[in-house]
């Protein structure tokens, strides 16, 4: 796979045009069957009152926290769903305590062991798919009957292989992969919301 960018650009407009082309290619690479399986899993989890745990590092942590907002607030607007969502990337005090006293690699799995139960769902966000703290969370979830969804990019990494459902983005630029993961998050939240709304209400609302 050719890496973007391959060369220096003289103008920001030219860079923007090629970046957006890469973004379109990344979006087109999403497997719609896996996307549908993940949406179905999430919808059924919320219907039965299960918890969704989500995590990521860096920009992926920001997407995880944004997911918490859009799922917990957005999905239940105009619907009967009451999504129960926890971002394992959100509690700075707990994350740094675990990282300092135990290890940074355990900052997500430690929280899962504390709060997650069989039938809950873990959604991980990792461009490389190989962040050790995310991999450990996936591995723990798999053996403890917590259902797993992974958003990945680049080569997919260990989370792509370890998750029950992998939504892979073909891209090797962090910005492009993260932008596409952010879009997938919005697609999930808006799709689940509109699927439980009337035609008339959808027409009245802005998403």
Instruction: Give the model's pLDDT for residue 194.
Output: 97
- Which DSSP string corresponds to the chain? ---S--S--S-HHHHHHHHHHHHHHHHHT--HHHHHHHHHHHHHHHHTT-EEEEEESTHHHHHHHHHHHIIIIIITTTSS---EEEETTS-HHHHHHHHHHT-GGGTTHHHHHHH--TT-EEEEEESSS--HHHHHHHHHHHHTT-EEEEEE-TT-HHHHHHSSEEEE---S-HHHHHHHHHHHHHHHHHHHHHTTS-HHHHHH---
The structure tokens listed for 117 are: 């139960």
Taking the CB of residue 144, how many other CB atoms lie within 10 A of it?
14
Phi, psi of 30 (to 5 degrees): -65, 130
- Domain 32-204 in CATH 3.40.50.720? The answer is no
Domain residue spans in the chain?
32-204
pLDDT at 10: 97
CA angle, residues 174, 57, 74, in degrees to nearest 5? 90
pLDDT at 82: 95
Q: What per-residue confidence (pLDDT) applies to 52?
A: 98
Sites in the chain below the pLDDT cut of 70: 1-2
Cα-based distances in Å from 24 to 55, 145, 175: 25, 35, 13
Q: How far apart are CA 2 and CA 154, in angstroms?
A: 11
Residue 5, preceding bond cis, omega within 30 degrees?
A: yes
pLDDT value for 2 = 63
Q: What pLDDT shows up at residue 25?
A: 97
Q: How far is CA 36 from the centre of its chain?
A: 14
């Amino acid at each position: 796979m050719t890496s973007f960018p391959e060369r220096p650009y003289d103008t920001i407009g030219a860079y923007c045009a090629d970046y957006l082309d890469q973004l379109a290619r990344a979006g087109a690479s999403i497997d719609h069957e896996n996307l549908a399986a993940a949406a179905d899993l999430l919808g059924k989890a919320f219907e039965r009152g299960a918890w969704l745990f989500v995590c990521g590092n860096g920009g992926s942590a920001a997407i995880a926290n944004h997911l918490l907002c859009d799922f917990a607030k957005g999905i239940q607007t105009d619907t009967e769903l009451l999504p129960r969502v926890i971002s394992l990337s959100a509690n700075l005090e707990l994350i740094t305590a675990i990282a300092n006293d135990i290890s940074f690699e355990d900052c997500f799995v430690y929280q899962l062991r504390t709060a997650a139960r069989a039938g809950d769902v873990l959604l991980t966000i990792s461009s490389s798919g190989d962040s050790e703290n995310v991999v450990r969370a996936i591995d723990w979830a798999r053996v403890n009957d917590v259902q797993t969804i992974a958003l990945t990019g680049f080569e997919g990494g260990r989370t792509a292989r370890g998750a029950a459902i992998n939504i892979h983005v073909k891209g090797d630029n962090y910005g492009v992969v993260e932008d596409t993961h952010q879009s997938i998050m919005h697609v999930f939240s808006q799709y689940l919301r509109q699927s439980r709304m009337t035609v008339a209400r959808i027409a009245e609302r802005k998403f």
